[in-house]
Amino acid sequence: MNKKTQLIHGGHTTDDYTGAVTTPIYQTSTYMQDGIGDLRQGYEYSRSANPTRASLESVIAELEQGNYGFAFGSGMAAITAVIMLLDEGDHLLINSDVYGGTYRALTKVFTRYGIKVDFIDTTHADQIEQHITPQTKMLYIETPSNPLLRVTDIKAAVDIANRNNLISVVDNTFMTPYFQNPLAIGVDIVLHSATKYICGHSDVVAGLVATKRDDLAERIGFIQNSTGGVLGPQDSYLLIRGIKTLGLRMDQIQRNTLAIIEMLQNHVAVNNVFHPSIASHLNHEIHENQSSGHTGVVAFEVADIDKAKEVIKKSQYFTLAESLGAVESLISVPALMTHASIPKDVREKEGIADGLIRLSVGIEDTEDLVQDLQQALDVVK
Range of the domain at 103: 3-241
Total count of domains within the chain: 2
Q: Hey, how many other C-beta atoms are within 10 angstroms of the C-beta on 334?
A: 24
Question: Count of alpha carbons within 13 Å of 128, Cβ hemisphere only?
Answer: 27
Decide which of 212, 241, 270 is a domain's last residue: 241
> What distance in Å separates the CA atoms of residue 354 and residue 347, rounded to the nearest whole number?
9
Q: Which among 216, 291, 223, 264 is positioned nearest to 77, based on CA atoms?
A: 223
Report pLDDT for 13.
72
φ/ψ of 34, rounded to 5, equals: -75, -15
123, 153: one domain: yes
Q: What is the pLDDT of residues 340-377, one digit of tens each?
A: 888 888 888 888 899 999 999 999 999 999 999 999 99
- State yes or no: cis peptide before 144, omega within 30 of 0: yes
Whether 314 and 236 map to the same domain: the answer is no
228 & 258 share domain: no
Q: Do 218 and 264 belong together in one domain? A: no
Residues 277 and 305 in one domain: yes
Return the pLDDT at 14.
73
Predicted confidence at residue 17, as pLDDT, reads: 79
Q: Exactly one of 3, 4, 15, 47 is catalytic; which is it? A: 47
Q: Which of 203, 222, 241 is the last residue of a domain?
A: 241
pTM score of the predicted model: 0.96
- Kindly give the parts of the chain with pLDDT less than 70: none
- 66 and 193 assigned to the same domain: yes
Instruction: Tell me the C-alpha distance between 262 and 162, whole Å.
Output: 39
Catalytic residue from among 97, 171, 188, 354: 171
Q: Are residues 209 and 347 in the same domain?
A: no
**Same domain membership, residue 285 and residue 174:** no
- 232 and 290 in a single domain? The answer is no
> Quick one: pLDDT at residue 376?
98
330 and 213 fall within a common domain: no
Phi, psi of 47, deg, nearest 5: -70, -35
Query: In the annotation, is 307 catalytic?
Result: no
* pLDDT score of 70: 99
- CATH number of the CATH domain containing 76: 3.40.640.10
Q: Are 47 and 184 members of one domain?
A: yes
Residue 20's Cβ-count burial label (10 Å; 0-12, 13-18, 19+) is exposed
Q: Cis bond leading into 276, ω under 30°?
A: no
Are residues 28 and 125 located together in one domain of the fold?
yes
Given 197, 217, 241, the domain boundary residue is 241
- What CA dihedral angle connects 96, 101, 104 and 105, to 10 degrees? -110
Q: Given this model, what pLDDT does residue 38 score?
A: 79
Write down the catalytic residue from 26, 31, 68, 99.
Answer: 99
Do residues 356 and 291 lie in contact, with contact meaning Cβ atoms separated by under 8 Å?
A: no
Residue 47 is a catalytic residue: yes
Domain of 258, CATH number, reads 3.90.1150.10
Catalytic residue among 196, 212, 249, 358: 196
Decide if 196 is catalytic.
yes
Distance in angstroms (rounded) separating the CA atoms of residues 109 and 301:
32
pLDDT at residue number 41: 82
99 is catalytic: yes
